[in-house]
Amino acid sequence: MCFKLLKKDKSKSLQNENTDIKAELEDKKMKIAVLTSGGDAPGMNAAIRAVVRTAIYKGAEVYGIERGYNGLIRGEFKKLEVRDVSDIIQTGGTKLYTARCAEFREDEGVTLAAEHCKKFGIEGIVTIGGDGTFRGALDLSRKGINCIGIPGTIDNDIACSEYSIGFDTAMNTAMRMVDNIRDTAQSHDRCSIVEVMGRNAGFLALNTGVACGATSIIIPEDKEFDIDDVVAKILETKEQGKKHFIIIVAEGVGGVEEKAKYIEAKTGIESRATVLGHVQRGGSPTVRDRVVATQMGYHAVELLLAGATCRVVVMKDEKITDYDIEEALKKGSPLHKPFDEKTYEIANAVSI
Ligand code: F6P
């Protein structure tokens, strides 16, 4: 853990009526900022709200940076007050906008961002996003700006955290969409091959597949995957009376159109392909995403106010705690979590 000494007082009591003293106290308030970066995820707004409100509650000033590290490189800080984050807890997307920033991968961009922070008096930043966001946070903290990451990605692929904000909402959205597809697959005795998001990780596909009773789930982690095994399973279960089939494919594997054609040719079952796409990234966050985002936002501010840096807020054994970003990044790039073999095995067992 790398804790730094707190330079400024939280100046809890602003009771003195003397305006000079008041101004001085205002000046001593710790200034922190918050940004969202990478792909958005439902619940990011709840996290922003928690960061802003916790910071103000604990006597700090808080600034929003728009469009991730792009806004930081431009030195754009917008002061946020309690009411600026009203009515966003229930909304998807991110009020602060988001972006993937190529310039921030260069030392020049990080240096410029750190200079803006120092000039503006920003001592710490909460960065909400995925592994790319944390790499940026690590680089920035090396330039003397305290950074705390919060995992926000529907892929849930942050190695050191059991949970990432947005995962539950995305799973529920995907599940509802696949349920709709099942209705029509059932009516037509068809096989539906559905692609769900997850560039390098199959967590979303695996859980959606289990929740939707998929016949097969195809994920990038399974290196031994063979489309003929899927064909064999369809034929075997058809023999036992199954009339329609749902096959879930993670985006990282892809190729749903070709897979549908191949399955139709080999089984004689009419097949259709659907790519769910960005519908999974939006929508009102679920209870879990709102609550976890709020807990993580609160924890992140507590860390910053205590002078911590280079930490990522994580969920471990269903509890909110934190982990060293540098250590997490050493685990590999990108930070993929070990594959959930047990659930994969269960999915296979119950899809006969
Ligand atoms: O945020 C993660 C994710 O949704 C992945 O599942 C997907 O591969 C990627 O983002 C899509 O990114 P973009 O919105 O930039 O196309």
pLDDT in tens, 213-224: 999 999 999 999
Q: What is the mean pLDDT of the chain?
A: 92
Q: How far is the CA of 288 from the centre of ligand 1 (A)?
A: 21
Residue ranges of domains in the chain, CATH in brackets: 29-166+285-332 (3.40.50.450), 170-281 (3.40.50.460)
Contacts of 209 (CB under 8 A, 6+ apart): 216, 217, 246, 248, 347
Instruction: State the closest ligand 1 atom to the C-alpha of 166, by its place in the atom list counted from 1.
Output: 1
| pLDDT for the residue numbered 7 | 45
Q: What is the pTM of this model?
A: 0.91
Nearest atom in ligand 1 to 201's CA: 6
Per the listing, tokens 């559905």 go with 194
Q: What pLDDT shows up at residue 309?
A: 97
Judge whether residue 336 has pLDDT over 80.
no
Centre of ligand 1 to C-alpha 40, Å, is 8
As a whole number, mean pLDDT of residues 296-323 equals 96
Residues comprising the chain, all counted? 352
- Residue 21: what pLDDT? 60
Cα 251 to ligand 1 centre (Å): 9
Mean pLDDT is lowest, of 196-200, 303-307, 311-315, 331-335, for 331-335
Which one has a higher pLDDT value, 2 or 204?
204
User: In this structure, what is the dihedral angle of CA atoms 270, 280, 135, 201, given to the nearest 10 degrees?
Assistant: -30
Tell me, what's the pLDDT at 327? 84
DSSP string, 13-77: ------HHHHHHHHHHS-EEEEEE-SS--TTHHHHHHHHHHHHHHTT-EEEE-STTHHHHHTT--
At residue 333, does pLDDT exceed 80? no
Q: What is the pLDDT of residue 339?
A: 84
Q: Is the pLDDT of residue 251 over 60?
A: yes
**Residue 341 pLDDT > 50, yes or no?**
yes
Residues with CB under 6 A from ligand 1: 39, 153-155, 197-199, 251, 281
Q: Which residue among 40, 139, 155, 157 is the active-site one?
A: 155
Residue 264 above 70 pLDDT? Answer: yes
pLDDT above 80: residue 26: no
pLDDT at 5 > cutoff 60 = no
Confidence bin at 20 (pLDDT 50/70/90): low
> 236: which 2 tokens?
């075997």
Ligand 1: which residue has its CA nearest to atom 15?
A: 39
Q: So what's the pLDDT on residue 24?
A: 62
Q: What percentage of the chain reaches a pLDDT higher than 70? A: 91
Q: Where are the alpha helices (DSSP H) in the chain?
A: 19-28, 44-57, 69-73, 107-120, 131-142, 167-188, 203-211, 227-239, 256-267, 287-305, 325-330, 341-350
Q: Rounded to 5 degrees, what angle do the CA atoms 203, 150, 91 make?
A: 80
pLDDT at position 6 is: 44
Q: Is 127 within 8 Å of 137 (Cβ atoms)?
A: yes
Residue 135, pLDDT > 70, answer: yes
| Section 143-162 average pLDDT | 94
Alpha carbon of 199 to ligand 1 centroid (Å): 7
Give residues with Cβ within 8 angstroms of 312, minimum separation 6.
134, 137, 148, 149, 150, 151, 158, 160, 161, 322, 323, 324, 325, 328
Over residues 272-285, mean pLDDT: 98
Q: Return the ligand 1 atom nearest residue 100 CA.
A: 15
Task: Give yes or no: 155 in active site.
Answer: yes
Q: What is the mean pLDDT of residues 194-211?
A: 96
How close is the Cα of 147 to the center of ligand 1, in Å? 24
Nearest protein Cα to ligand 1, atom 13: 39
The whole-number pLDDT of residue 159 equals 83
Under the banding of pLDDT at 50, 70 and 90, the label for residue 337 is confident
Q: Ligand 1 pocket check: which of 197, 203, 280 to mutate, most ligand atoms within 8 Å of Cβ?
A: 197
- Rounded to a whole number, what is the distance in angstroms from the first to the last CA of the chain? 48
Question: What pLDDT shows up at residue 16?
Answer: 55
* pLDDT recorded at residue 10: 47
